Structure 1
Amino acid sequence: MNQIKNLDINISTKEKIGYGFGDLACCLIYVSISSYLLFFYTDVFGITASVAAFMFLVVRILDAIADPVIGILIDKTNTKYGKFRPYLLFGAVPFAILAILCFSTPQLNEGGKLIYAYVTYAALSVCYTTINVPYGALTSAMTTDQNESVSITTYRMFLANIGQMIVAFGVPFLAAKFAQSMNLADSWKLTMVIIATIGSILLLICFKSTKERVKVPASHANIKFSDIFEQFKVNRPLVVLSIFFLIIYGVKSIVSSIGIYYVTYYIGKPELIKWYSLIGTFPALFVIPFIPWLSKKLTKKQLMTLSIVIDVVGMLGLFIFPSNWVVAIFISRAIAAIGNGMNTAYMWALIPEVVEYGEWKTNKRLGGMIYAVIGFFFKCGNALGGMVPGVILSMSGYVAKQAQTQTALHGILITTAIIPMCLYAISGICMRFYNLDKETYIKISKELQERKSLS
């Protein structure tokens, strides 16, 4: 028999929390990079917004291209620690060191600064990929029971949002606190030393806490790069979901990157940055537990449309309210965060059924590769977060560390609200082509079980 044996066992709460620590760690480090590195480059390290924007685009696209390659490498990995866990063990410390180097400011000329930024940021991005792709695929090796997989993912998403909250509030708080007794560059570096060290420890705890129970037959390692293109030919839900990840994470990254500029220059209250960032993540903690209930009451298209509408309403508030209406702006920020929390949490829940659809079409279960493909698209989305704000800031005449012109402020406002709303409109249209409804999924699952019983 050449099928993976189903493992209907209960995963302990301790192991689920340990697994969730992995995403908490990744969020602590990589969300810090996504949210604050552009600001660090322009306002601390001294790289112009346009140059930094182009660098973000180049590095993140190269990083995204690495995802499928690493996915194939992982599928061929076989060590005494398993297929996925070794990457957590051996990647934890380099990940932390590279994060600290990204927020360091060696004394270099303009060209040297740019080379240093490219090398450190590119190395960090590749290191993140070699950790995050196997981490995401680790769930399938812990159990094959669907209910346990959902439970594990719930712990993961909850702790991931805790990580985002810590970054949103803690990073600007620590950087500002340390800046009271040292220069700005050293304050950011010390902040990242603390964040990266905690993240590295959490990754090691994740490695120690989890166990790979599902033993994949050797024949499943016979995976070719061309299988990716085969999936895109026959797996329509994968195509739609990939585009959706590109857009939604593009919006998340744009909003995250521009937020510090919006509060500092448009609202004119830099002391509120940590609170603005916090209110952009905190509502997700209340939304995630209701996703299973909502998914039973609404169709996939209805749930995603609802989340997009809620987010757009919040974005509209950020655009129309005057800069001195701080309370109204923060309420709008919270509304947008609710919608964003809904669609982000639900997107990840759709990946397993996309994997099964691909297996139904090709008779190959390519969970790791499909996760890597999804990773490629959400990282391309993340690339927008570094590129779009940098380009708009440069075009609108932004100059770091001084009062901005009305044109520059308008550019910040457009990037904060109008561009995300336009992208959301595209995502809403895209989701209409998702053809895997509940009835079809039940039919596919039943047929796959029949195939297994006959093998």
Structure 2
Amino acid sequence: MPSQQALSLKEKAAYGCGDVSSNMMWGMTSSYLMYYYTDIYGLPLVAVSWILLVARIVDAFCDPAIGYFVDRMGGRIVPRLIQSLAIPFGITGFFCFLALPLSPTGKVLWAGLTYIVFGAIYSCINTPYGALAVMISRSETDRTSLNAFRMMGCQAGSLFVALATIPAISWLGGGASPAQHRYGMALYVLILSVLGSILWFCVARGCTVRHPPAPVRQNLVVTLCHLCRNRAWVLSNLLAFFYFVGQAALFGFALYYARAILGGTEQTGANIITGITILLFAIVPACVPLAKRLGAVRAGIVCLAGQIVAYLIMALAGASMTGFVLSAALLALAQGTMSPLYYTLLAEAVDDGDPLTSTGSAGLAYSINTWVTKLAMGITGFVLAQFLSWGHYVADGTTQPRELLSWVTAGFIWLPLGAVCLQIVCLLAWRRKEPAGSPA
């Protein structure tokens, strides 16, 4: 197919299907896995914190390994790799939420093993998927459009999970007891897993690799050194790390914030996740005209400034539901507008790095970025679980200790606010590298 051929709506939608699938399971693990471990499966908080962290440490080997494999095999392997991993992705995701009746130690081992294996499969399918946009088109406009569809797919998958999870596990389980919730959760995740595998097949068969990187047999250490000398690539990874710290805190602590600070229930937390996800999904298309007008970096700084204002309003609002809703809406609009820019900047960094280093390393470059995002999620999950432990959280308790309030606020507001400020520092450092003729 000629490289100059315009991308069809069908192909853009097919590309977005990958993030629908990823984020149905990502939404489950980021928003409900900690809740599932603590309140449904009954794992100790200390064990939960270490499971979340150790799984990401293991991923430190999986992500670069699959990226290095893609570089050595060449870009045309990507669709076949995605297709071959579609079914294992669904199976391992289902096992993460399958509550086997084991001893307390056995539960911890089962939870840790299944989450680690799912993380490895997720790495092996999502890393080549991330690199696929570079191989589909060389046009910055097309890439921004592809990543906009990717982010809409991301929010669509997250929205489905946010809307359906709490009602579905009660309905499928036939009640609200822990045993019924365990059964309902297993059936619900089974449905998500089957749908997720189907969507990955849509990606593999609906996207065309027009610009496949040739197989590269480079020394791994040399390639890593070349990547680390790519300043834009380093900054894009820092941006991704701090972004996903905020995402892990926002979605991972929403249920706890709703119960401890706002005085609501699990359904209140699910409604918060749903509302934020709807706004994230709806505002993503605004990224394209904003980036055209201001440039990717300046547009990102504007969006981050909006997030800072939102978090400060949220902190001042306290238990006020009105203040929380307004601040959460502003936060979601600012985050949703910026979300495609992370991948646009990463693609730019990878492109800029190739002529500088004379090494084709798109697979490894994207694999490390994928690992960085999951490392951020793992570290943040570990920290949040520790916050709950230090606040003496009572699993499924109707009343909570007063000291828990400050720890939940720290995890939901102050931790992600600090991550937003560090993102601005990264973009200010990037801004000095923009060409003089960039959009003002």
Aligned position for 1:342: 337
Aligned position for 2:116: 122
Residue 41 of structure 2 corresponds to residue 45 of structure 1 = yes
Equivalent residue pairs, number = 433
Aligned position for 2:155: 161
Taking structure 1 as reference, are residues 103 and 407 closer, same or farther at Cα in structure 2, changes over 3 Å only?
same
What secondary structure is seen at the aligned counterpart in 2 of 1:111? helix
Residue 84 of structure 2 corresponds to residue 87 of structure 1 = no
Match of 2:419 among 420, 423, 427: 423
Alignment of 1:62-81 (within 5 A): 62-77=58-73
Residue 184 of structure 2 corresponds to residue 192 of structure 1 = no
Taking structure 1 as reference, are residues 429 and 215 closer, same or farther at Cα in structure 2, changes over 3 Å only?
closer
Match of 1:136 among 127, 130, 135: 130
- The farther-off stretch of 412-421 and 144-153 is 144-153
Cα distance, 1:232 vs structure 2: 4.0
Residue 310 of structure 2 corresponds to residue 314 of structure 1 = yes
Residue 146 of structure 2 corresponds to residue 152 of structure 1 = yes
Q: Contact 2:168 / 2:188 at 8 angstroms: preserved in 1?
A: yes
Cα distance, 1:299 vs structure 2: 4.7
Match of 1:20 among 10, 16, 22: 16
Q: Distance in 2 between matches of 1:42 and 1:277?
A: 19
Amino acid at match of 1:177: W
Residue 357 of structure 2 corresponds to residue 395 of structure 1 = no
Amino acid at match of 1:366: S
Which consecutive segments of 4 or more residues in structure 1 shift more than 4 A?
none
Q: Contact 2:310 / 2:331 at 8 angstroms: preserved in 1?
A: yes
Q: Distance in 2 between matches of 1:312 and 1:119?
A: 38
Match of 1:224 among 206, 219, 241: 219
Q: Distance in 2 between matches of 1:147 and 1:190?
A: 41
Aligned position for 1:449: none
Q: Contact 1:355 / 1:365 at 8 angstroms: preserved in 2?
A: no
What secondary structure is seen at the aligned counterpart in 2 of 1:221? coil
Q: Distance in 1 between matches of 2:250 and 2:60?
A: 20
Q: Distance in 2 between matches of 1:308 and 1:214?
A: 33
Cα distance, 1:107 vs structure 2: 1.2
Alignment of 1:359-374 (within 5 A): 359-374=354-369
Aligned position for 2:5: 9
Taking structure 1 as reference, are residues 372 and 106 closer, same or farther at Cα in structure 2, changes over 3 Å only?
same
What secondary structure is seen at the aligned counterpart in 2 of 1:397? coil
Cα distance, 1:241 vs structure 2: 1.4
Aligned position for 2:380: 385
Q: Distance in 1 between matches of 2:77 and 2:412?
A: 41
Cα distance, 1:179 vs structure 2: 4.3
Residue 284 of structure 2 corresponds to residue 284 of structure 1 = no
TM-score by length of 2: 0.92
Cα distance, 1:226 vs structure 2: 1.6
Q: Distance in 1 between matches of 2:368 and 2:33?
A: 25
TM-score by length of 1: 0.89
- The farther-off stretch of 224-233 and 40-49 is 224-233
Q: Contact 2:284 / 2:338 at 8 angstroms: preserved in 1?
A: no
Q: Contact 1:103 / 1:192 at 8 angstroms: preserved in 2?
A: yes
Taking structure 1 as reference, are residues 440 and 84 closer, same or farther at Cα in structure 2, changes over 3 Å only?
farther
Q: Contact 2:261 / 2:405 at 8 angstroms: preserved in 1?
A: yes
Q: Contact 1:72 / 1:223 at 8 angstroms: preserved in 2?
A: no
Structure 1 gap ranges (5+): 443-455
Match of 1:272 among 268, 271, 275: 268
Cα distance, 1:374 vs structure 2: 1.3
What secondary structure is seen at the aligned counterpart in 2 of 1:85? helix
- The farther-off stretch of 362-371 and 373-382 is 362-371
Identity among equivalent pairs (%): 22
Match of 2:169 among 172, 175, 178: 175
Cα distance, 1:128 vs structure 2: 0.3
Q: Deviations over 1:299-318 (max 9, x none)?
A: 54432222222112222233
Amino acid at match of 1:143: S
Amino acid at match of 1:195: L
RMSD: 2.2
Q: Distance in 1 between matches of 2:149 and 2:339?
A: 15
